[in-house]
Amino acid sequence: RGPEVQPRPLGAAGGETRGDDAGSTGSRSPVRLRTPSSGRWSRPPGPLWLSGAHEDKSCHQLIKTGCVRPDEAFGKFFHNLMERKDFETWLDNISVTFLSLTDLQKNETLDHLISLSGAVQLRHLSNNLETLLKRDFLKLLPLELSFYLLKWLDPQTLLTCCLVSKQWNKVISACTEVWQTACKNLGWQIDDSVQDALHWKKVYLKAILRMKQLEDHEAFETSSLIGHSARVYALYYKDGLLCTGSDDLSAKLWDVSTGQCVYGIQTHTCAAVKFDEQKLVTGSFDNTVACWEWSSGARTQHFRGHTGAVFSVDYNDELDILVSGSADFTVKVWALSAGTCLNTLTGHTEWVTKVVLQKCKVKSLLHSPGDYILLSADKYEIKIWPIGREINCKCLKTLSVSEDRSICLQPRLHFDGKYIVCSSALGLYQWDFASYDILSSEVISVEEFVFAMLIAPRLCPLADIYLSDLYVLGIVMVIKTPEIANLALLGFGDVFALLFDNRYLYIMDLRTESLISRWPLPEYRKSKRGSSFLAGEASWLNGLDGHNDTGLVFATSMPDHSIHLVLWKEHG
């Protein structure tokens, strides 16, 4: 291959010699740097690989810039490589020795090393310890396991966890089941088809705000309608519109949201009203029923036949039937379009203060789903009638709460096709329409939602609810309290009930049988027949959904002939 080519020493003309026995073995020649001014090589202040000016430069960079020659760069690289291997061998030996120590000895060793460490080492130690000791389990676990763990936390804790980090907030906000369950527990209606977890988290935040307003008795606001000049007795509410009938021989239709009167027509004295977009039906103290046209104010039908005041009316355009209940103890069935009496139902021994025409939603021995049913109520009984045109047809069933008529029913009757609900001086009664039975709530099941409640808590705001004298009479469970309040029913749903007495409007959570909110009422005009007050929107009684907690809650006529309204307050 030929003789090795030795580097040519620098002579007098080419610069100083490298010196120090450049050709000898066993010792490394010191590196000399070429200064830009003289072009000669000079010795650096220390080893090249420790020089502050070149410690961060690679061999390639040093050769390229002319700081070192190629053979010197290779020597530096080889020396570093050997030092690295020696360090790794030493580190392996130390590791083996460290692992053989006891826990106490390991701690002492670490304490000693920490005491010898500088700021750079301590900072390095701090950064690595945080990563090793603080494990983000929500980030490391599979999403399914994270969701399973989150289901065990209450919603308030979940909201706090959302503040931990962006990752936690992302995972927690994505758990649909957690937020749906939280909404259900607050009495909120859930649409399972909506699987957007963030949507349900927002719904929960809205729900918790509304429930807090209810608990703090701040969920409502009041307003008044002024326009009648005499006693207002008849009230009926539908789709944001309130109809009022007065002794000033007029009926008015009000927009509740604006307080404006939409229609006003001249009528007879009104004891009951019901309306739709085209017409108004009124029952009067003059013993007649009339049908009026909103647009023209003209009377289109006049139903004569009762011998007492007509306290309640209901109608169905599909059946072309109108029904009326009167102080003459009868219920009459009329042809709505023709104005003729089709049937007179007898059997009541008191004024008939409420009639309801409703489609049945359950199957029983007497009717099938889809059949129309007529209910009528007096002071002591509720009667169920078939809708037929035969003369002197018989009552299908009579419901009462006491055989000796010692317990009076309030004139508010609720029937949704599945359950009949009425209140008394003692509390609430609920009948299953399929069996007409009042059953104890202890026998409730998923397949057969059949139960009854009779609850009359002491309604003092600062007092606890005392339940005593529990006894069972046949299939009726009665809960008495030491002081029985005159509690009346306004509305009844799957989740909530709306009640009132002489001082307050109450919301009851039917799942816990507890009052969760109240609202003070003014000195309103009281009526034994119950037509001077009514409930507004009813869908929220089956569970709030964030949209149905708007509009009218309660309306009553006042001694000054105005209408006092209780409305849902808008969300904050």
Q: Is 50 exposed, middle or buried (0-12, 13-18, 19+ CB in 10 A)?
A: exposed
CB 227 within 8 A of CB 242: no
Is 53 within the bounds of a domain? no
Q: For residue 262, what pLDDT is reported?
A: 92
Is 184 within the bounds of a domain? yes
| Lookup: tokens for 432 | 């299953």
As a whole number of angstroms, the distance between CA 309 and CA 307 comes to: 7
As a whole number of angstroms, the distance between CA 487 and CA 457 comes to: 9
Q: For residue 166, what pLDDT is reported?
A: 87
Is 246 within the bounds of a domain? no
CB 59 within 8 A of CB 74: yes
* Four-point Cα dihedral 440, 445, 447, 448, nearest 10: 0
As a whole number of angstroms, the distance between CA 232 and CA 532 comes to: 7
Select from 230, 139, 158 the least CA-distant residue to 201: 158
Average pLDDT of the segment spanning 183-204: 83
Q: For residue 75, what pLDDT is reported?
A: 66
CB 175 within 8 A of CB 150: yes
Is 301 within the bounds of a domain? no
Q: For residue 252, what pLDDT is reported?
A: 94
* Four-point Cα dihedral 261, 266, 268, 274, nearest 10: -40
Is 190 within the bounds of a domain? yes
Handedness of CA 3, 6, 12, 15 (dihedral sign): positive
- pLDDT tens digits for range 518-550: 999 988 776 655 568 888 888 899 888 888 888
Q: Is 390 exposed, middle or buried (0-12, 13-18, 19+ CB in 10 A)?
A: exposed
Residue 433 CA, chain-centre distance (Å), reads 30
pTM: 0.66
As a whole number of angstroms, the distance between CA 326 and CA 378 comes to: 10
CATH of the domain at 197: 1.20.1280.50
Is 145 within the bounds of a domain? yes
Q: For residue 149, what pLDDT is reported?
A: 85
Instruction: Mention every residue, 6+ apart, whose C-beta is less than 8 A from residue 333.
Output: 321, 322, 323, 341, 342, 343, 344, 345, 374, 387, 389
Q: What domain range includes position 187? A: 137-216
Mean pLDDT of the chain: 77
What strands, in cross-sheet order, belong to the sheet with 552-557? 220-225, 563-568, 552-557, 533-535
CB 352 within 8 A of CB 376: yes
- pLDDT tens digits for range 205-243: 888 888 889 999 999 999 999 999 998 989 999 999 999
Number of domains in the chain: 1
Average pLDDT of the segment spanning 355-365: 84
Is 164 within the bounds of a domain? yes
Q: Is 371 exposed, middle or buried (0-12, 13-18, 19+ CB in 10 A)?
A: middle
Q: Is the pLDDT of residue 422 over 70?
A: yes
Is 562 within the bounds of a domain? no
